[in-house]
Structure 1
Amino acid sequence: MQDVEDVSLETDKPRLSGRVHIIGLGNAGTFVAHSLASRQSPPPITLLMHQPSFYHAFRRKKWSLSVNYNGLDDIKTGFDVEVLYDNGWHKIPSKEEHLEAMNEAESDFEITENEDVAHESNDDGHIECLIVCCRSHMTDNAIRRVRHRLTSDSTILLIQNGMGVIEKLNREVFPDETNRPHYIQGVLSHALKKRDAFQVSHANVGTLILSPVVTAQTPLIEAENDTHWAPTTKYLLRLLTLTPSLVAAADTPAGILQYQLERLAVSCVLNPLTAIHECKNSELLYNYPVTRTMRLLLFEISSVICALPELRGVPGIEDRFSPERLRRQVMNVAMTHPNNSGSIQEDVKYQQNTEIEFMNGWIVDRGEELGIKCLLNYMIKQLVHSKSDIIRQRDARAVPIDVDSIILSGDPARDD
């Protein structure tokens, strides 16, 4: 691959393999993996699955990922798979390898549902480029499972909603700065809708905005100069921006932060309110009490964003993040996606932890640092937590009629 060779010649370190690992195969992860596989010269792609049940679901889909464009399914295969099994990562033979083994054996060769996934161990395999598309609150646990395979030469791309994930990773997973991987932040605006596990519909074309993350060792002015980026960071940025279906573009750290904050403001309103009211986006429209709540939330959110030291000196911040402009953005998203209800409502329903601490919780925490009291955002955060607790307690009191009929299984699409 020419991209890999170009990057590798700029360093004395071993040549990059060009392999990309992906965690989180919900809407975003499926779309990114499918897009990379659609390149004329696709890179080697490994899908990381943290439960054997995810692999069995993937096998039922014939080892394929599907994106529906304008009513037509575009199916891609050829992915490598690693499954977390018995506290270690194990490489699963691809569909092509299974067919080859079957031909060599001249006998039927089939993986059963109860197949032991402990094939070739790959637990020490180095990860150069890792794309993380799982939800914010799942990220630290997901990366802990591959931490021993990441080094200071690795690059992690985070594509998710919410804020504060990198700070938590640095604090709890990579406290040693000398062994900390490099980060890229990504904001994906393609309109994607889940059809089934490993199958999504592409409703509207968007973009993927990318930017390397500024570190304490890399001043802002140097971070915007690609000569200071790690080889894996250069390679991953080049790979993604040259992938047509992603419509990816690189931006400055200050630029992508503004995209993230715009998305955060919308998420801080629609996500918790649809969860608390158990409704869709459309049902929040033209409702006066809800409109008043939205306005009060956005006044607090706007005050915090405009006071952030990271945006100090950036022109037009007060206008871009004014309460009225943020309100128009919220209403536009609600009208454009009337049937959406948000990830928080789904997580509350299935008694999972939610992203609320990385949304309204982040606004509350940053507000406290800046001396701004965000009482309504704090209340919204507590209402989501209390609703989750009520549902858990309610279900804990329920007695199943037939225990044998209960099947515990994972859904890989819930990573997104």
Structure 2
Amino acid sequence: MRFHVLGLGPIGCLLAHHLRQTVSNHHSITLVHKSTKYAANAVNPSSRVLLERNSIVVPQSGFQHETFDHKVEPTTSKTTPIESLIVCVKAHHTVNTIRALLPRLTPDTTIVLMQNGMGIYEALIREIFRNPDRRPHFVVASITHGAFLKDYMHVVHAGVGGIQLGVVPEHGADFEASYPHMSLADLGERTPRSDTLRHTVAALTGLAALNVDWQSFYTIQMALRRKVVVNAVVNPLTALMDCKNGAVLAHPSGRAICERVCLEAANVFRAQHAADLRDVRASSREHNTTFPFQLTKDALVQEVERVAQVTANNYSSMLMDIKRGRTTEIGFMNGYLCDLGKRHNVQMPTNSLLMRLIDLRTRIPVHL
């Protein structure tokens, strides 16, 4: 089995380290670097993926290395099909980076999406994998670990959380036949096409130190919706105010903005739920008609407050992007909610304003 980790930020390094530590050396793990310079340094014999936790640094070696446009090690071939691709690049880079790897992706490939935000899978389907018969398997994940890079390929695991993953449904396949206790048998008979999905799910769920949990796709969608609302509050406010996560709800003004974002999100999720019910009734399929409490305004506010408290001393990824002059992921957070609003005719003034403010912030030089 050939695993490729695309994107060596905090989550990419965290996953690569634990994956290499867990799976047999018979399975290759290739780190896909963003430039030849980084990859060339990485193949240095003294180079390792370093994982730091509680001031203890654990090195991990045994990786192969590639870039998008240059083969670094002769042991890997740029024409070799990719069997399992774990995607950890920023949300707005996903489509272009996967497009660059498209000649090596097949319908047998399994792609795991491990990013912040929502709408990434939909963008890939819309822009790259339009034909469902030629589409790879997809696994989506929600991550609550806290991590940051101390240096390239040196990740600090600052807060232990978990990873929930779900397999995107495919036509004619029931990947959740034994729900709520899914097993690898649910992924179908052993075939070249199902094997990559089976091995990928087995490898990820075997990462005990990362608390990986295979959930139903419905459960993952719920977790991702709640997380995107948390990000839609915490990320833009911390980026605009240049503060740690815990400061955004420490004052009445911050809490008021949080409540407005959550109200708009709850309204659009309710409209989406109603539209799904109409589609279900038209097709005579079964569906839960009750709107989930977890997506109500009060529940969303509580989740934002919980995450802001747990990560109170952390700096958000959007704030760091602003400071480094990088493009933010706002389009897959507040932007995703605004797109849902347009689709279901729900007004999203607070989310729209936050998007515009972040756009303005990125166009004004930051004085460090």
TM-score normalised per structure 2? 0.86
Whether 1:247 aligns to 2:202 is no
Residues of 1 paired with 2:263 and 2:14: CA distance?
Answer: 35
Percent identity reads 28
Q: In structure 2, do the counterparts of structure 1 residues 350 and 378 end up closer, same or farther at CA, with 3 Å as the change threshold?
A: same
Q: Which runs of 4+ in 1 moved over 6 A?
A: 219-224
1:328-348 residue CA offsets vs partner (Å, 9 max, x unmatched) = 221222222223232222222
1:63 matched to 2:47? The reply is yes
Cα gap change, 1:221 to 1:200, in 2 (>3 Å) = closer
Once the two structures are superposed, residues 120-154 of structure 1 have per-residue CA deviations (whole angstroms, 9 ceiling, x without a partner) of 77221110100001111111111111111001111
Alpha-carbon distance in 2 for matches of 1:61, 1:301: 49
- How far does residue 59 in structure 1 lie from its aligned partner after superposition? 4.8
Correspondence 1:175-214 to 2 at 5 A: 175-214=130-169
Q: Please tell me the residue identity of whatever aligns with 1:80.
A: Q
The aligned counterpart of 1:355 is 329
* Structure 1, 383-392 or 286-295: larger mean CA deviation: 383-392
Q: Which amino acid aligns with 2:15?
A: V
What is the identity, as a one-letter code, of the residue corresponding to 2:63? F
Instruction: Determine which of 32, 36, 44 is the counterpart of 1:48.
Output: 32
Pick the structure with greater CA Rg: 1
**CA offsets 1:147-205 (integer angstroms, 9 cap, x no match):** 11001111100101100101111111223333221110011222223322211222333
Structure 1, 213-222 or 148-157: larger mean CA deviation: 213-222
Which whole-Å deviations, capped at 9, do the CAs of 1:18-74 have from their partners, x for residues lacking one? 110110111111111111111262431011112012224435692211112333111
| Contact preservation (8 Å) 1:89, 1:121 | no
2:67 is aligned to 83
Q: Is the 8 A contact 2:144 2:162 kept in 1?
A: yes
Does residue 105 of structure 2 align to residue 150 of structure 1?
yes
Counterparts of residues 328-343 of structure 1 (less than 5 Å) = 328-343=302-317
Q: 2:163, 2:36 → 1: CA distance? A: 30
Q: Which moved more, 1:204-213 or 1:164-173?
A: 204-213
Residue 233, structure 1, aligned to residue 218, structure 2: no
Return 5+ residue gaps in structure 2 as ranges. Answer: 180-185, 278-286
Other-structure match for 1:12: none
Range that drifts further, 159-168 or 238-247: 238-247
Secondary structure at 2:118 match in 1: coil
CA distance in 1, matches of 2:289, 2:70: 48
How high is the TM-score relative to the length of structure 1? 0.77
Query: 1:346-397 CA distances to partner (integer Å, 9 max, x unpaired)?
Result: 22233322111111111111122122111111111111112212339x9xxx
Letter in 1 for 2:73: I
* Cα RMSD after superposing both structures: 2.6
* Compared CA separation, residues 36 and 360, structure 1 to 2 (3 A): same
- Aligned equivalents of 1:388 and 1:298: distance in 2? 24
Residue 221 of structure 1 deviates from its aligned partner by: 6.8
The runs of 5 or more residues in structure 1 that have no matched partner are 1-17, 94-119, 395-416
Q: CA deviation at 1:219?
A: 6.9
Q: CA deviation at 1:314?
A: 4.2
